[in-house]
Amino acid sequence: MNDIVKAPTDFQQAYVFDMDGTIYLGDHLLPGAKRLIEELRRRGIPVRFLSNNPTKDPQQYVEKLEKLGLPTDISDISNTVVTTTNWIKENHPDAKVFAIAEEPLKNSLRQAGIALSEDPEEIDIVVSSYDRGFDYRKLQIAFDAIWFHKRAFLVQTNPDRFCPFPGGRGEPDCAAMTAAIEACTGTTCQVNFGKPSPVMLTAALAGLDVDVAHCVMVGDRLATDIQMALDTGMGSACVLTGEATADDISSLDDAHRPTWVLDRIDRLIPASAWAELGWTENDD
């Protein structure tokens, strides 16, 4: 692993963080996360949080981070509940939507004045999402709206195949629902509202006067977190505390590798600052 680890030597203008597998895993902060965020804030450097998880709204993330000892403004958080709702409201405000999703996304759509429907004859958009209540009935509605009535098109909240859990387990994520709908209808998902879509970066950096080239996206997934950074010219840091492994990164060609690879997240603080702060690996 030591051959692949590479840490930044300077501070960046802004930091955008994935949360699951990067800041925390389950109900526990990852080593160094708390002091990293506190030090960046102390220096006045903007910190933003992103998540592809559509099963929580931003307020729930605020509550979780506060419980973990990282009080955070709701304006500093964006996830696929926000990006999906905003896109539909801005581009198809009068559409009738069938949301294969859990309550946070459905509630957000309702609050935005977007009509939800389970009637295939009137559905304009099928939204595929992480849905632990996904069943054959929902698949049939999506099938009828897209294939039989040839009326609706398919979008998805995020492209993740699975959601990692502590202990190495996980649950099927949005891509599994999308694949089932695509398989039976022959259609292709038209829009993705989660990383690596640039819509997530736009949401994260809204209101900040920063140069994207001097910001960094920090995450644990090569196909979403790191790919978004590569696609937008943003610096990237992959932490080896979630999905990606050192072997995964070693197998990539130079053009697809993250800018930095970290064995722990507080390596984002340059070594010179570690020395000034008196930090050691034993003190989180």
CATH code for the domain in which residue 21 is found: 3.40.50.1000
Let me know whether 205 and 175 are in one domain.
no
Confidence (pLDDT) at 2: 59
Residues 107 and 40 in one domain: no
The domain boundary, picked from 175, 192, 209, lies at: 192
Residue 123: HSE in the Cβ half-sphere, 13 Å Cα cutoff: 28
146 in a domain, yes or no?
Answer: yes
User: CB-based burial of residue 223 (10 Å sphere; 0-12 exposed, 13-18 middle, 19+ buried)?
Assistant: middle
Distance CA 27, CA 15 (A): 22
Res 76: pLDDT:
95
Q: Which two tokens stand for residue 57?
A: 């709204």
Q: Could you tell me if residue 30 is inside a domain?
A: yes
Tokens of 54: 């559509």
Q: Which of 130, 162, 192 is the last residue of a domain?
A: 192
Residue 254 forms part of a structural domain: yes
Per-residue model confidence (pLDDT) at position 65: 96
Are 179 and 207 in a shared domain? no
> How far apart (Å, rounded) are the C-alpha atoms in residues 182 and 146?
10
pLDDT score at 263: 93
Which of 166, 192, 218 represents a domain boundary (last residue)?
192
Q: Is residue 5 part of a domain?
A: no
179 and 117, same structural domain?
yes
Nearest to 52 by CA among 128, 139, 140, 157: 157
272 part of a folded domain: yes
Residuewise pLDDT in 10s, the chain (284 residues): 557 889 999 999 999 999 988 999 888 999 999 999 999 999 999 999 999 999 999 999 999 999 999 999 999 999 999 999 999 999 999 999 999 999 999 999 999 999 999 999 999 999 999 999 999 999 999 999 999 999 999 999 999 998 877 777 889 999 999 999 999 999 999 999 999 998 888 888 888 999 999 999 999 999 999 999 999 999 999 999 888 999 999 999 988 999 999 999 999 999 999 999 999 988 77
Q: Are residues 96 and 143 in the same domain?
A: yes
For the record, the structure tokens of 214 come out as 């001097």
Range of the domain at 110: 81-192
Q: What local confidence, expressed as pLDDT, does residue 17 receive?
A: 97
In a domain, 6, yes or no: no
Number of compact structural domains in the chain: 2
| pLDDT at res. 23 | 95
pLDDT of 163: 82
Question: Does 244 map to a domain?
Answer: yes
How confident is the model at residue 26, as a pLDDT? Answer: 83
Residue 1: its pLDDT value, please? Answer: 53
Question: Do 162 and 202 lie in a common domain?
Answer: no
- Asked if residue 113 and residue 27 are part of one domain, the reply reads no
Contact 51, 18 (CB under 8 A): yes
Q: What's the pLDDT score for residue 180?
A: 98
> Rounded to whole angstroms, how far apart are CA atoms 114 and 135?
23
Taking the alpha carbons of 203, 208, 211, 216 in that order, is the dihedral positive or negative? negative
Flag whether 283 is in a domain.
no
Q: Is residue 188 domain-shared with residue 88, that is, in the same domain?
A: yes
